[in-house]
Each structure stands twice: as C-alpha cells, then as structure tokens.
Structure 1
Amino acid sequence: MLTYVLNSQDLADVRFAVSPVAEMVLSLRALREPGRFPLQLGWVRAVQPRVAELDWDVLRWLVNDTMGSPDFLTPRPSSPLTQLADELDLLAAVDQETFKKQLIAVNGELPDALTVDKVVSALSDYWQAMMAPYWNRMRTLLSADISYRGHVLTQYGTGAMLNGLGPAISYADGLLKVDRVAALSRQENIDGRGLVLQPTLFGPYAVIPFDPGADPLLGYPPRGQANLWSVVEPPSHQDLAQLIGTPRARILDLLTHPRTTTDLAGELQVTPSAVSQHLQLLRRTGLVEPQRTGKQVLYRPTELAALLTGSEPLTPS
C-alpha cells in the first residue's frame, strides 16, 4: 500500500493529466498477462497479428514479472493534452545513470546492448503498430473521465472525487491510501510537489511510481471501459452518413486540413450559406471547431469527429 499525505494546499493543487507514453508502456502489461486485463481483451485481440513484428529484445525489459516499469518510462504528465512527441523527447533525454539505475532496479540486470536510443526506437514502432490505430478511442474515454471527475470535484469537493477513483483508492483526513500496488507499504508526503491524477486503461486497480520519493502520481481506472471495445472497427462512411446526414458526413471527409466555408462550398458545388448551416450544426454537436486566421475563419474537425470517422485528429496550428 502507498499512502500519500496531503495538506490543505496539496488538496487544492490536485491536477489531472493524460500520458500517451505511459499508456503505451503500461499496455505491455496486457500483452504479457491478458487475463489480468479482461476489459482490454478487445484491444489485445485486435493487435495480436502485429505482436511478432515488434522488437521484443528491447520491449521485454520495460515491464517486469510483477508489472513494474522504470519511472523514466512513465514521466509525470503536466496536462490532459500531453503529446506523444513531447514525451518521447523526454525519454530520449534521460541520462545514462538514471536509465541504468532504474532498469536494474526493475529487472535486476541490464543487457549491455540496451540503450536509450533503442528503447525510444522500439517504443516508436510499438506506438505505430499497436496504439496509433486505437488512440483516438482511448484518449476520448480518458478525456471524458477527467471531465466527469472535474464535475464531481466542483459539485462535491476533492474528498468525494478522490474516494470515487476506484475500489483500491480511499481518502480520509488528509490520507490518500492506494492498495494493491506494492508488496511493501510506504507513506509519502506531497509537501507542495503537486499530486497528478492520471486515468489509465492498464492499471487495473491503480498505478504508482516504482521508486519511493518520485514525483507524486496516481494512475486510476477510468469509467466506461466495459464498452470501450464493443465496436472494434470504426463506423463505415454509410453508417456515419445515416447518423449525421450525407452532406455533413461529406464535409467531415473534406476537413483533412482547416478550411473556410467558401472553400468547402466550392468543393461541394453548393452555396456558402448552405455549407454554413451544416457547419453550425456540426459545431453545436461538437464535431467541428472554428479558428480565426486574420480575417478568415477556418473550420477543423474535433477529436470526437476523428473518433467517428476513424481518422487522426488534426494537430493545432
């Protein structure tokens, strides 16, 4: 058990964040022991054809028999909008002493041929094969959970929010207790360092730093996982057209990059006012968002639209 001690200021400074790299590294647990992750079996089945293509000479050192991983592989994220490229840059910059020390602590040994560059390369390939096709769906669920926890915090307070994070997590009188995470119990003071709460699909009960004294971080199981993989493939274009209408589905198809109303109207050979009406409905339903560039208003699809269409979300410009 890990017990975090929080004072009143620590409670006020609790933050939420999402880590693509942490989800990637922790997902290795589900491939290693799928029976411990029944809610993620849909993902495990979907990625099985790609497993043999990966560099397991490297990846096998990143999660040990007790599901532990070096802390440098799961850096504490700072935002719900954390980007994979930024976290991979952090991993690439890890110093050799930390790299060696943490991997030996987790595995008991370190192969001479294992380097930071090889780890980053293996993880980059792993992301493209195993995570990228499903990340829109995963991130949408993680983001939705953060929104829900924020609502609970606002309506009922930090204590109620913490007590609702999961059956292995409880809070009372300044003590946040996390069970089922470590063979040896330890207690750590937050002491103004800030506690980051991170929803993760690959807990399954909770996730804490491997090293005592690491920056305070608690991974917890998000809501809604039971239905995450109920539909493995994204909806077809015909399904989407039936849901939102053919003209609006066509507009989403054309938004591979931010575009103006006039641009879309020319492409579709309809009037700008007709396109504007469709865009306003798509905006109200959270499928597109406007961005002003000088005197122009460009429209771009949201993460929800990317999830519906099975496409990659556009990077903010």
Structure 2
Amino acid sequence: MLETIEAIRLTTPEDLPGHHHGFLESIKDRLDALDLRPVTLLQPRRGYSPDFLSPPPTTAHPRFEDELARIEATPLDRVAGDIARSLRETRGAADTEVGRRLLGDPAEALSLLTGVIRDVWREVIEPVWPKVRALLDADVAHQSRRLAEGGLDRLFAELHPQLRWRDGVLIRAGGGDEHRRLAGEGLLLIPSAFKFDQVLVILDPPWQPTVIYPARGVGALWQSPQTGELAAVGRLIGRSRAILLAGLAEPASTTVLAHRHALAAGTVSQHLTVLRDAGLVVGQRYGHEIRYRRTPLGAAILNRTT
C-alpha cells in the first residue's frame, strides 16, 4: 500500500521522479487513463498526508487486499478529520471540485480514494511488484545482518544519511518538532522503493511508530546497464560509473549515492573522482556536505549513448 501511494505522489508536478522517470514514462498511457487527483490532492510536498491511506503493515509480507480492507475499515470521523487537515496544507485545495467531493460525505470520499488506489495497484504496481519486492527484501536482509553484527549503533549508523542515532534517540535531519517517546512500543522500520528521496515518520496514535526510509540500492531498480539503455555508456566509462552518472538527475552527496546504489562510500568516492576529473560531474558545497551533479558534458554523453 505504501509503495502504491508513493508511486502516485511521483506523478505530481511538485515531485521529481528521479531514477523512476523512465519507469513512469513507460507506463504513461496507463497513468493518463486514471484520475489520480483524489489522492494527489492529499499529498502536499510539505505538510500532512492522511496516515490512514498507508497504515503501517502488521506483517512482514502483507497482501494488498488485506491492507486495502484496513483502509476501508477506517472510522469515518478519522477519514473526515484527516482529509480536512491535509487539504488545509495546500492553498485552494478545499475549493476545487475534487476537494469539495473529499470534504463531503466521508463514506463516499473513502470509496473514491480506495477506488483510485486499487486501480493504480492493478495497472502500475502489481505488474512490477516481484521486482520491487525483491529490492525491499534485500534491504531487510542487509539491515538485519547489520543489526545482528553490531546492534542498534551499527544499524542506524548507515540506515540512511538523514537519520542519526545518539544516546538512545533516533533523529531525522531536517524533521519538524514532532517527537514520540516509545516507552516500550517498539519502532517499525520500512524500506521504500518509491519514497526514494527522504525519510518519513509516522508518530500519531493509534499507529505503530514507524520510520520509512529509501531502500538500499533503489537507484539501480530499473537500470540494466549490460543490455539496456546504459549499455553503451557502460562500455565507455564502466558499469558502476555509468549507473552513478545516470542517477545524478539532481545533486546528491557521496553517502546518499552509496546508499542509493548499494555501494561502499569509498568506492563511490573513487568513481566520482574519475568522473569529476573527466569533466562529467562537478561537486558543490551545500552546508557541511559536497553534492555532485552532472555537467553538460556528462548529460551529453548520456543523451548521445542512450
């Protein structure tokens, strides 16, 4: 359910699809046939999106039908309250035709939303779910090994660059003022393929406290450098460098690139040095970190060989 909701978010003009761009382009006809506005209107870039649309899963391998049933069983007063709260985050949203429908009868609004989600699952996510699920399972296996080898310190040290673990407190860099003392409730960690650019948290009761983070290796999810569109540039500069160059649709730091492409930070640094010396990327300082972006020459090589 979470992956379906986040895939819908990537179709909005406010969100950059990043390395999902090619995938979304390949299914553009299917997306154009769907009216996604009831869900996208409740997905402000910064602000509240209703938690009841993607409740934290209760099992390691939930079925879509079971998760949809949980949404359909949401109390209608919560549906009405969460929708009103979300629409307030976007100026003018409540005054649109779709906004007025969502603010009307909460039972009808819930049916409208679940209908959109069901259609996107069937048309967009379900056909590629084995590939996405394999990525998520690989992340869980990797993080489980790190937890077993070094406890929470080792796990959170590299779970994601936006997360810091200090004195028993997990901190999300750039987060708001929300906080929640677990008091024995436990914390659910969920890797995501389509939420690739930032860490999300679910803190409001009655939901299980949850951290949603970009899955390790998500940058290579749709790429086949040996036989696909990156074959030529891969032969020119090497497979890993081609993947890194193609993945720099927007500036990113070494640590982010290492997580995104499931590579060691030292390896990424070496590749970036070669790409920089060749004039294909350039580094710029953002606060305390260096972020790399493609140069016009790097973009031209990709465009010429793909």
Which of 83, 101, 108 pairs up with 1:103?
Answer: 83
Note closer, same or farther for the CA distance 1:166–1:136 as it changes in structure 2 (3 Å cut): same
Residue in 1 that maps onto 2:171: 177
Distance in 1, Cα, partners of 2:192 & 2:75: 27
Contact 2:199-2:214 within 8 A present in 1 as well? yes
Matches within 5 A, 1:10-89: 21-33=1-13, 36-66=16-46, 68-89=48-69
Specify the SS of the correspondent of 1:41: helix
Report the AA paired with residue 186 of structure 1: E
What number of residue pairs does the alignment pair up? 212
Find the aligned partners of 1:43 and 1:30 in 2 and give their Cα distance.
Answer: 11
For 2:205 and 2:19, the matched residues in 1 are separated by 29
Q: 2:16, 2:180 → 1: CA distance? A: 28
What SS class does the counterpart of residue 186 from structure 1 fall into?
coil
2:179 is matched with 187
2:155 alignment counterpart: 161
Say whether 1:201 aligns with 2:181.
no
Structure 2 CA distance, aligned partners of 1:228 and 1:210? 29
- Which segments of 5 or more consecutive residues in structure 1 lack a partner in the other structure? 1-20, 236-317
Give the counterpart of 1:135 among 126, 129, 139.
129
- Call closer, same or farther: CA 1:134–1:180 in 2, change over 3 Å: farther
1:125 equivalent to 2:105? Answer no
Q: Tell me if structure 1 keeps the 8 A contact 2:190–2:213.
A: yes
Per the TM alignment, residue 31 of structure 1 is displaced from its structure 2 partner at its CA by 1.2
CA distance in 2, matches of 1:156, 1:75: 30
Q: Who is 2:146 aligned against?
A: 152
Per-residue deviation, 1:137 = 0.7
Distance between the aligned counterparts of 1:100 and 1:57, measured in 2? 17
8 Å CA contact 1:198–1:217 kept in 2: the answer is yes
- Seen in structure 2, the aligned counterparts of structure 1 residues 201 and 177 have a Cα distance that, compared at 3 Å, is same
Between the aligned partners of 1:36 and 1:57, the Cα distance in structure 2 is 17
Ranges in structure 2 where 5+ consecutive residues have no aligned partner: 89-93, 95-101, 229-306
TM-score, with structure 2 as normaliser:
0.64
* CA RMSD between the two structures: 2.4
CA contact (8 A) 2:19 2:219 kept: yes
> Partners in 2 of 1:213 and 1:159 — Cα distance?
28
**8 Å contact 2:203–2:209 — kept in the other structure?**
no
Deviations 1:81-103 (A, max 9, x none): 11111100000101110001111
| Gap change, CA 1:36 and 1:210, over 3 Å in 2 | farther
Assess, with a 3 A threshold, how the Cα gap between structure 1 residues 23 and 67 changes in structure 2: closer, same or farther.
farther
1:213-267 deviation digits (Å, cap 9, x = unpaired): 74310001111112110149x99xxxxxxxxxxxxxxxxxxxxxxxxxxxxxxxx
**Partner deviation per Cα, 1:152-204 (whole Å, 9 max, x = no partner):** 111111221022111100101101001234xx322210112220000012332
1:92 aligns with one of 64, 72, 79: 72
Determine if contact 1:171/1:177 at 8 Å carries over to the other structure: yes
1:240 maps to what in 2?
A: none
Give 1 or 2 for the bigger CA radius of gyration: 1
Q: More relative contact order in 1 or in 2 (CA 8 Å, sep 6+)?
A: 1
Distance 1:136 1:36 in 2: 24
Q: Secondary structure at the match of 1:158?
A: helix
* Structure 1 residue aligned with 2:293: none
